[in-house]
Amino acid sequence: MTNTFLRWWGCGAFDVILGDVNFAFDPYLFGENLKNAEPIYDYIFITHEHFDHCHPQTLKKLCSGERFKKLFVNPGCITPAQPIDKNYGDAAFERDLPITKHVPAEKVQILYPKHLNESQGLDRNFSGPSEITLGPIHVETIESGENQHPELPTCGYLVTHKEKNISFLHTGDLHAPYPALENIKGRIDFLIHMKLGLIDGGGANLSPGLVKLIDLVKPRFLIPTHYRTDRISDPIPEGHWPPNVTDVMAFIEWIRQTVGNKVEVLPFTAGVEYELEMPAKRVLWKWNWFNTWTVPPWREG
Ligand SMILES: [Fe+2]
């Protein structure tokens, strides 16, 4: 079985290269990364219509070519709350939405959440699909967070490759777990984790929510994303949203300490492609060391 390749691109952007099928969640690229981006994905999944998740410049490049088949979005990407600028403030822009201004409408499909957050209402009936089979993968949705209103829900995506026995849950900007997530318990290898586990801007510790989420869905691995540093190597421009953390090592260890032995934490660095040995799903960690000089600076002449 060919190996799998995973990459966190910064923010909520994450891609999965399985070989027979490749897909990306919330791709959001800039500068050289955007310039060098190739349309290597069969499917792209967008969790919500905010600018840092539904990014026209990136989508215009990736939703093209021979391989690309479909862009799946939550309803707000197509029918955003109007007027956009008034409703969303800085979170979404008239220039970006609906996304069919930038990607041909026949290449875009709305998915609605299947597993609903009761705080938004359990009696909502949406008029479209909440799961779909795409060749070797099956896609099932959960409700995410940051809904503009209950009728414009956001989506998290559970993508399962049955034959390869591997699955991914990208939660979108989920800020709080809810009971219906138990419906997908034990069906997730890789939880691509977003907002929970952070300390929010006001200083509240959101990590109890992360523990609750882990208990509800019981993933095998946890990949923390949607945080950044101001390292020059990070693929998101300096000073840009999402939140900076002051000490990445401490942040990761804080998460590890919080979840204990419930799940294995995989500390991915943004922009680096990680290889998974299949079928074991074991990360082949690669690193090296190098000298920053060849002649010691104290040597004269
Ligand atoms: Fe976000």
Tokens of 128: 């479209």
The string of pLDDT tens digits covering residues 13-36 is: 999 999 999 999 999 998 889 999
**Ligand 1 centroid distance, CA of 11 (Å):** 7
Please state whether 197 falls in left (phi above 0), alpha (psi between -120 and 50) or beta. left
Side chain identity, residue 293: W
- The answer to whether the predicted template modeling score (pTM) of the entire model surpasses 0.75 is yes
Q: Is 136 exposed, middle or buried (0-12, 13-18, 19+ CB in 10 A)?
A: middle
CB 237 within 8 A of CB 12: no
**Ligand 1 centroid distance, CA of 54 (Å):** 10
**Over 70: is that where the pLDDT of 200 sits?**
no
**Ligand 1 centroid distance, CA of 191 (Å):** 16
**Ligand 1 centroid distance, CA of 138 (Å):** 25
Query: Domains in the chain, ordered, with CATH?
Result: 4-283 (3.60.15.10)
The string of pLDDT tens digits covering residues 244-267 is: 888 889 889 989 999 999 999 999
**Ligand 1 centroid distance, CA of 279 (Å):** 32
Give me the mean pLDDT over the 110-137 stretch. 97
**Over 90: is that where the pLDDT of 165 sits?**
yes
**Ligand 1 centroid distance, CA of 162 (Å):** 29
Q: What's the CA gap between 212 and 195, in Å, rounded?
A: 13
| HEC profile of 178-236 | CHHHHHHCCCCCEEEECCCCCECCCCCECHHHHHHHHHHHCCCEEEECCCECCCCCCCC
**Ligand 1 centroid distance, CA of 243 (Å):** 9
